[in-house]
Amino acid sequence: MKTYIFDPIHQVALDAANEIGEIVKWDNPEVKEYSDAEAIIVRTTIVDKNRIDSMPKLRIIAKHGIGTDNIDLKYAKEKGIFVTNTPTANMTSVAELAVTLALSCARQIPRSNMLTKNGLEILAPRELTGLELSGKTVGLIGAGRIGQKIGEIFREGLGMNLSCYDPYLSEELADKLGLKKYDKLLDMLRDADVVSISVPLTESTINLIAEKELEAMKETAILVNTARGKIVNEKALYEALLNNRIKYAAMDVFEIEPPKKDNPLLSLDNFIATPHIGAATEEALVNMGLTAVEEIKMVLQGKTPRYIVNQ
């Protein structure tokens, strides 16, 4: 099975891919077209109709990661091509980043680091006063794999209370997970001290957090987005942070990635940015790569892959 790997993957996964057939790597300068591709592995490469049409033998698009908004799922389905992802491979890494960002906001870690390295005259200056999270409430927007893991770390590690807004989560499961489930996003936002976003980017989640939602949040609230950039309206967030409508925000994902240096958010002291590093740990990279290769191997063996996202 000839597999084109469009974006860099971990060496461990590359070795595994080599074992199942011929592979063509992302950095091969001789590759001008992909018409003989039977399988592809992609991370951020856009797989639209045109690209799918350029690969008439394609049987599987293995997404290395979770979010499949870079792939035309419907068209792939029409063409009988499996699209798979790696749903469990990076959830711990993303959850750990979300918690790290929330704590970094609460204790102003980047700013504290910068001021200390620039030379301070006094210890613990008033402007670096932080917030304690213990006993406060986290509002999870989306309580799927990553959202649940984030909740678990906040509760077990910091003794925080958990609430969620996720219309697709049953009351029973919410109860079992110890989540206070809200039917209305605005109601959850009014009550939460930390708001963490873990929903896919879809028509219904674009601009899910905009002016009205930010207006509803507490003035002391922290917003963390490790999901997708367009879920938060960046202009509205900039205004809210500039006018101290909310305390702090941190984002791993942006409307345009990597974010441009002149993105107004980057000029704010109460904003922390990371460049889409949620899944960028050794462990997650190995797991994602191996899972993607495994899915291709299953198709090669005539089996149905485990993590199909375009049923």
**Annotated active-site positions, please?**
228, 257, 276
Q: Which of 71, 99, 146, 174 binds ligand NAD (CB under 6 A)?
A: 146
Q: Which of 70, 144, 191, 263 binds ligand NAD (CB under 6 A)?
A: 144
C-alpha Rg value of the chain to the nearest Å: 21
- Residues 148-177 close enough to bind ligand NAD by CB under 6 A: 165-169
Among the listed residues 7, 280, 269, 309, the one whose alpha carbon sits nearest the alpha carbon of residue 115: 269
x/- mask, ligand NAD, residues 243-282, rule CB under 6 A, reads ---------xx----------------------x-xx---
Residue 131 CA to residue 71 CA, distance in Å, equals 40
Eight-state DSSP code of residue 18: H
| Total binding residues toward ligand NAD, as defined by CB under 6 A | 33
Whether residue 90 contacts residue 68, with contact meaning beta carbons closer than 8 Å, is answered with no
Whether residue 68 contacts residue 47, with contact meaning beta carbons closer than 8 Å, is answered with no
**Tokens 């309206």 appear where?**
233
Q: What's the min distance (Å) between Cβ of 67 and ligand NAD? A: 3
Which amino acid belongs to residue 209?
I
198 lies in the site for ligand NAD, by CB under 6 A: yes
In b/e form, how buried is each residue of 138-172, taking b as 16+ CB within 10 angstroms? bbbbbbbbbbbbbbbbbbeebebbbbbbbeebeee
Residue 217 CA to residue 208 CA, distance in Å, equals 13
61 lies in the site for ligand NAD, by CB under 6 A: no
142 lies in the site for ligand NAD, by CB under 6 A: yes
Of 23 and 101, nearer to ligand NAD (C-beta) is 101
Residue 15 CA to residue 286 CA, distance in Å, equals 11
Q: What's the min distance (Å) between Cβ of 272 and ligand NAD? A: 14
Of 199 and 236, nearer to ligand NAD (C-beta) is 199
228 lies in the site for ligand NAD, by CB under 6 A: yes
Q: Which of 131, 200, 210, 239 binds ligand NAD (CB under 6 A)?
A: 200
Question: Under the rule (CB under 6 A), what is the footprint of ligand NAD?
Answer: 65-67, 87, 90-91, 94, 141-147, 165-169, 198-201, 204-205, 226-228, 252-253, 276, 278-279
